[in-house]
Amino acid sequence: MSVIAHDVYAGDRTPARRQQPTGFGMALHRAKKGLRSPTPYLMVFGIAVWLFAYWLLCEGLSLPRFEKIPGPVTILSDWISANPQQGTSIYTPDYYQHIYVSCRRILIAFVLATALGVPLGLLMGWSAKVKDYTFPLFETLRPIPIMAWVPLAILMFAGYETPVIFLATLASFFATTLNTMLGVQSIDESYFRAAGCLGSRKRDVFWHVVVPGAMPFIFTGLQISIGVAWFSLVAAEMVSGDFGLGYLILSSYVNSVTVPMVIGMLTLGFVGWFSSAIVRFVGNRLMQWHVKALAMQGR
Amino acid sequence: MQSQIFSAPTVPTKGAISIRDVTKIYDPDGAQVMAVDHCSMEIAPGEVCMIVGPSGCGKTTLLNAIAGFHSITEGEILLDGVPLCGPKHPLASQASDRIVVFQNGALFPWKTLAENVAYGPMVQRRWPKAECIERARAALKEAGLGNVADKYPGEVSSGMARRAEIVRALINEPKVLLLDEPYRAMDALTKQIMHEALLEMYDRTKVTIYFITHDLEEAIFLGDKVYVMTTRPCRVKKVIDIDLPRPRDYTTLTSEAFRLLVKEADEAVHEEALKAFQAGEREMA
């Protein structure tokens, strides 16, 4: 009798779809699928080619200007040696101290910048008034390179720790705030109108439209901001610091030990990558709707 | 089948819209674009009112005025005798007695269909939160969307999403449902299914419907009255009473009475479409 009852779209009576694999089965399925595609082989091959070129330049041929730079073999053998010739390896406690100090600073800076930047960005995007108050100042301060803040930071804050954290926070804060604001502005007007029709108060619009609607931009911003935080942290550690990966790199250079310098750089690369991956992971967890919609589009 | 969720009196008494002498001028201090020119309409409670006209003629402007998205310049609009907007308050307040279903769909992509449907009652505090969700599920089930209630809008077809959006509107028991070319981007087959589903929901609720479309056959198939509008500035050119018996289904589409009505409307619309085309209006709507 009901028209809808024999509707081709009605999902109620369609038989259960093929069971989706979950957990370990899913991981296995993905791994198998991955190994059948050319991607992993191309990646391994690509890394090998670059490493070989690097080795050739520094160790194989020892071209002029390159002979002072430690090659991949020298670095790796020192990195994993229990008695490193130049003092830094995975067996020396100092190495972990540097990583720990940098990571702790990043964590503090990132949390501070997010806690300040996201709410400010949301308000700036949502309320024209807040934007009028803040945007001119914000846009004047944002282009100032972080290095230009170093003297001021050292004058303002005592010790080694606070100036460094301040600089990383500042850089990260600007990226987060701007992206959050743009995220709110990117929300389609019809969602606000729909919310209005359905009887929302301002508060409801904020929590149910503004915040979730800006979320994809916020997480893009957070990925940028954690990258910027690392960048400015290392710059700050080079100027003012007693520990940290930036300090390791610069002090190695000053003491003419080039291997720990490169080890510090590579470590930064891996730790930075890892931190971005965590932000991405949390973002995807929080935005299942976004992930699923993209998956439906085949992305 | 008597609906558990949507029930309506046999003779609808709520949802009369009076549009009286409404004029809308965009940018009154500058370019002075007249979108609507002294337009009047009387829509009876529970009437399905189809608005047909050339692109950019100002049909959506009227809808926006009723919904409270845009102000009007002159005239007044009343809902059940109570002014929504008029000379003193050119902008109507937005409320859940008039709910819009948007051209491109405006289900919140970050909420599941059930959460979307439950949203209105939840923010209006009609029922406790758990009950809102429960009723939303029941309403979706009744509309044939029970199995996708926990999916996100991005995961379902546009037809399902649009139907869920209508459910999201109707669960609030609005007096008026405002639809702005909701089936524009759909193919003819999907459209027909959507029409039948909409008619069924209408038969249950008898809500007043203000429905904007380009599609004449759609207008005549669904409507009690078809308002043919002039090209900009928008006025009522012709009102066609559709006396096809309800309930209607796809066999209505091939009846002689239907074809005659299409012909009558076509002549009026064609003239306006030609005028709009010759005026070289950029497509706005």
Facing A289 at nearest CB: one of B124, B154, B249: B154
DSSP 3-state helix, strand, coil percentages of chain B (rounded to 5)?
35, 20, 40
- Residue A102 included in any domain: yes
DSSP state letter for B60: H
Tally of domains in chain A: 1
Residue pair B140/A10 in contact (Cβ under 8 Å)? The answer is: no
The residues, ordered by sequence, that sit 6+ positions from A292 with a Cβ below 8 Å of its Cβ are: B152, B154, B155
Facing A208 at nearest CB: one of B119, B153, B193: B119
Mean pLDDT calculated for residue range A112-131: 94
Least Cα separation, residue B33 to chain A (angstroms): 22
Helices A161-185, A211-239: crossing angle, 10 deg rounding: 150
| Chain B CB contacts of A196 below 8 Å | 68-69, 94
SS3 B121: helix
Is A10 a residue whose pLDDT tops 50? Answer: no
Mean pLDDT calculated for residue range B50-61: 81
- Residue A217 included in any domain: yes
Is B48 a residue whose pLDDT tops 50? Answer: yes
Q: Report the alpha-carbon distance of residue A25 to residue B253 in Å, rounded.
A: 52
Is B2 a residue whose pLDDT tops 80? Answer: no
Is B284 a residue whose pLDDT tops 60? Answer: no
Fold of B45-67+177-285: Rossmann fold (3.40.50)
| Chain B CB contacts of A5 below 8 Å | 144
ipTM beyond cut 0.90: no
- Residue A34 included in any domain: no
**Tens of pLDDT along B78-117?**
888 888 888 888 888 888 889 999 888 899 999 999 999 9
**Tens of pLDDT along A262-279?**
999 999 999 999 999 999
Helices A128-141, A93-126: crossing angle, 10 deg rounding: 140
Backbone φ and ψ of A92, nearest 5°? -95, 130
Residue pair B55/B285 in contact (Cβ under 8 Å)? The answer is: yes
Asked whether the bond before B233 is cis by omega within 30 degrees of 0, the reply is yes
Q: Distances in Å between the alpha carbon of A116 and those of A12, A177, B73?
A: 46, 8, 43
Is B7 a residue whose pLDDT tops 60? Answer: no
For B22, the enclosing helix (H) or strand (E) is: strand B17-26
Residue with the larger pLDDT of the pair A269 and B11: A269
The residues, ordered by sequence, that sit 6+ positions from A159 with a Cβ below 8 Å of its Cβ are: none
Residue with the larger pLDDT of the pair A16 and B276: B276
Backbone φ and ψ of A189, nearest 5°? -55, -30
Beta bridge partners of B212: B51, B180
**Tens of pLDDT along A16-53?**
455 566 678 888 888 888 888 888 889 999 999 999 99
Kindly determine whether residue B123 and residue A292, on different chains, have CB atoms separated by under 8 Å.
Answer: no
Kindly determine whether residue B193 and residue A197, on different chains, have CB atoms separated by under 8 Å.
Answer: no
Is A1 a residue whose pLDDT tops 80? Answer: no
Q: What are the CB-based long-range contacts (under 8 Å, 24+) for A11-14? A: A11/B144, A11/B145, A11/B146, A11/B147, A11/B148, A11/B160, A12/B141, A12/B144, A12/B146, A12/B147, A14/B147
Kindly determine whether residue B108 and residue A208, on different chains, have CB atoms separated by under 8 Å.
Answer: yes
Residue pair B179/B101 in contact (Cβ under 8 Å)? The answer is: yes
CATH of residue A166's domain is: 1.10.3720.10
Q: According to the model, what pLDDT value does residue B249 have?
A: 78
Is B1 a residue whose pLDDT tops 70? Answer: no
Kindly determine whether residue A12 and residue B106, on different chains, have CB atoms separated by under 8 Å.
Answer: no
Q: Encode A141-173 in three state secondary structure.
A: HCCCCHHHHHHHHHHHCCCCHHHHHHHHHHHHH
- Residue A263 included in any domain: yes
| Chain A CB contacts of B147 below 8 Å | 10-12, 14
SS3 B219: helix
How many residues are there in chain B?
285
**Tens of pLDDT along A234-263?**
888 888 778 899 999 999 989 888 899 999
| Chain B CB contacts of A14 below 8 Å | 147
Beta bridge partners of B34: B25
Residue A298 at interface with chain B, using a CB cutoff of 8 Å: no
Residue of A9, A204, A284 best to disrupt the B interface, most CBs of B under 10 A: A9
Kindly determine whether residue A209 and residue B108, on different chains, have CB atoms separated by under 8 Å.
Answer: yes
Kindly determine whether residue B106 and residue A290, on different chains, have CB atoms separated by under 8 Å.
Answer: no
How many residues are there in chain A?
299
**Tens of pLDDT along B103-158?**
888 999 999 999 999 999 999 998 999 999 999 999 999 888 889 999 999 899 88
Asked whether the bond before B87 is cis by omega within 30 degrees of 0, the reply is no
- Residue A154 included in any domain: yes
> How many other β-carbons are positioned within 10 Å of the β-carbon of residue A273?
11
| Chain B CB contacts of A10 below 8 Å | 144-145, 147
Residue with the larger pLDDT of the pair B25 and A116: A116
- Its pTM stands at 0.83
Q: According to the model, what pLDDT value does residue A18 have?
A: 55
- Residue A31 included in any domain: no
**Tens of pLDDT along A161-203?**
899 999 999 999 999 999 999 999 999 999 999 999 998 999 9
Q: Which of A204-213, B6-15, B170-179, B183-192 has the lowest mean pLDDT?
A: B6-15
Least Cα separation, residue B223 to chain A (angstroms): 18
Q: Report the alpha-carbon distance of residue A209 to residue B279 in Å, rounded.
A: 40
Select from B194, B207, B154, B145 the least CA-distant residue to B9.
B207
For B118, the enclosing helix (H) or strand (E) is: helix B113-123
Domain limits for position A188: 93-296
Is A77 a residue whose pLDDT tops 50? Answer: yes
Least Cα separation, residue B95 to chain A (angstroms): 5
Share of residues in chain A with pLDDT > 90 (%): 54
User: What residue type is assigned to position B219 of the chain?
Assistant: A
Residue of A197, A205, A288 best to disrupt the B interface, most CBs of B under 10 A: A197
Q: According to the model, what pLDDT value does residue B136 have?
A: 93
SS3 B270: helix
Kindly determine whether residue B155 and residue A201, on different chains, have CB atoms separated by under 8 Å.
Answer: no
The residues, ordered by sequence, that sit 6+ positions from B176 with a Cβ below 8 Å of its Cβ are: B15, B17, B66, B79, B97, B98, B99, B207, B208, B209, B210
Q: According to the model, what pLDDT value does residue A216 have?
A: 92
Q: Distances in Å between the alpha carbon of A240 and those of A96, A156, A160, B185?
A: 19, 13, 6, 61
Residue pair A55/A77 in contact (Cβ under 8 Å)? The answer is: no
**Tens of pLDDT along B158-192?**
888 988 999 999 999 899 999 998 888 788 888 88
The residues, ordered by sequence, that sit 6+ positions from B240 with a Cβ below 8 Å of its Cβ are: B220, B225, B226, B228, B261, B264, B265, B268
Place of tokens 């091959």: A45
Burial class (CB in 10 A: 0-12, 13-18, 19+), B219: buried
Q: According to the model, what pLDDT value does residue B50 have?
A: 92
Beta bridge partners of B225: B49, B241
- Residue A64 included in any domain: no
Mean pLDDT calculated for residue range B253-262: 86
- Residue A32 included in any domain: no
Q: Report the alpha-carbon distance of residue B84 to residue A182 in Å, rounded.
A: 34
SS3 B250: helix
Q: According to the model, what pLDDT value does residue B208 have?
A: 92
For B267, the enclosing helix (H) or strand (E) is: helix B256-278
Which sequence spans correspond to the domains of chain B? 45-67+177-285, 108-173
Residue pair A271/A107 in contact (Cβ under 8 Å)? The answer is: no
Q: According to the model, what pLDDT value does residue B285 have?
A: 40
The mean of the pLDDT values for chain A is: 87
Q: Report the alpha-carbon distance of residue B41 to residue B217 in Å, rounded.
A: 22
Facing B100 at nearest CB: one of A7, A197, A288: A197
SS3 B184: coil
